[in-house]
Chains A and B, each alone.
Chain A
Amino acid sequence: DADVTQTPRNRITKTGKRIMLECSQTKGHDRMYWYRQDPGLGLRLIYYSFDVKDINKGEISDGYSVSRQAQAKFSLSLESAIPNQTALYFCATSDGGAGYEQYFGPGTRLTVT
């Protein structure tokens, strides 16, 4: 089984709808991250969490919110989806050790029409 899983893998939604993307990990890591990937822009950090009680905004948090329900679960919500939130979304985890390697989920492709 994959160490970092994301659900759903693909989602099409309409403008104004609320949507939640979920991430679960079995690596036992404290640190979890949400990124979005857009062609030609690379990955940009939306939110990150260093433990269940610690939530931090990344560089593009406007329009998004997160919930860290447990050490293993980190959800990303779009309260009112808009078309420019169409992107590929990745969850990642890290143990914060030497090298700070991050382990990525397979991604959720979100389309807002």
Chain B
Amino acid sequence: GEDVEQSLFLSVREGDSSVINCTYTDSSSTYLYWYKQEPGAGLQLLTYIFSNMDMKQDQRLTVLLNKKDKHLSLRIADTQTGDSAIYFCAESTGTASKLTFGTGTRLQVTL
């Protein structure tokens, strides 16, 4: 079945760039997503990328997709303390509208 993996923790200094990485196994993934979970809250979609794209940029966020290596990354430029959260990578296949989530990466932003 599908498997999505992420490292569990990342610490960066305020103002630096953060890069959160994700690998997945399902080569038929249609969409790949980044969700953000703030403390005590549900998940909120940050951005997604269609599988035939290799990059998507949205303000401070840059998503890179390497289909050959099944690797997805999220870069947050000028990281702020408000970016501290858990970031989940997820993938969906076909029209099933089911998501498979990674384990989540906790981003800690230090002053």
* Nearest CB of chain A from residue B87's CB, rounded to whole Å: 11
Number of chain B residues whose Cβ lies closer than 8 Å to a Cβ of chain A: 24
From 52 to 68 in chain A, residues with beta carbon under 8 angstroms from any chain B beta carbon are 58-59
Q: 0/1 per residue, B43-78, Cβ < 8 Å to A? A: 111001010000000000000000000000000000
Does B10 have its Cβ within 8 Å of any Cβ on chain A?
no
| Total A-B contacts with CB atoms under 8 angstroms apart | 54
Closest residue to A91 on the B side, CB-wise?
A: B42
Q: Which residues of A contact B100 (CB under 8 A)?
A: 45
B92 at the interface (CB under 8 A from A): yes
Q: Is B24 located at the chain interface by the 8 A CB criterion?
A: no
Could you say which of A40, A43, A101, A103 contacts B88, with CB atoms under 8 Å apart?
A43
- Does B101 contact A43, Cβ atoms closer than 8 Å? yes
Question: Contact: B42 with A42, CB < 8 Å?
Answer: no
A102 to B95, CA, bound (A): 14
Main secondary structure of the interface of A (DSSP, over half): strand
Whether the Cβ atoms of A90 and B42 lie closer than 8 Å is yes
Chain A interface residue count, CB cutoff 8 Å, equals: 27
Contact, CB under 8 Å: A101 / B48: yes
**A94 touches B (CB below 8 Å):** yes
Which listed residue, A31, A41, A58, A59, touches B97 by the CB 8 Å rule? A31
Contacts of A44 in B (CB 8 A): 101
Q: Which residue of A lies closest to B104 (CB)?
A: A42
Do B48 and A42 have beta carbons less than 8 Å apart? no
User: CB distance B8 to A40 under 8 Å?
Assistant: yes
Q: Once the chains bind, are A40 and B103 in contact (CB under 8 Å)?
A: yes
Q: Provide the bound-state CA to CA distance between A102 and B31, in Å.
A: 12
Question: A100 near B44 (CB under 8 angstroms)?
Answer: no
| Residues of the B chain whose Cβ atoms lie less than 8 Å from the Cβ of A100 | 31, 92, 97, 99
Q: A40-B8, A42-B88, A104-B43 are in contact. Are A99 and B31 (CB under 8 A)?
A: yes
List 10 A-B residue pairs with CB atoms under 8 Å apart, sorted by A's residue number. Answer: A4-B42, A42-B88, A45-B99, A90-B43, A92-B43, A99-B31, A100-B92, A101-B45, A104-B42, A106-B40
- List residues of B whose CB falls within 8 A of some A CB: 1, 4, 8, 31, 33, 40-45, 48, 50, 88, 92, 95, 97-104
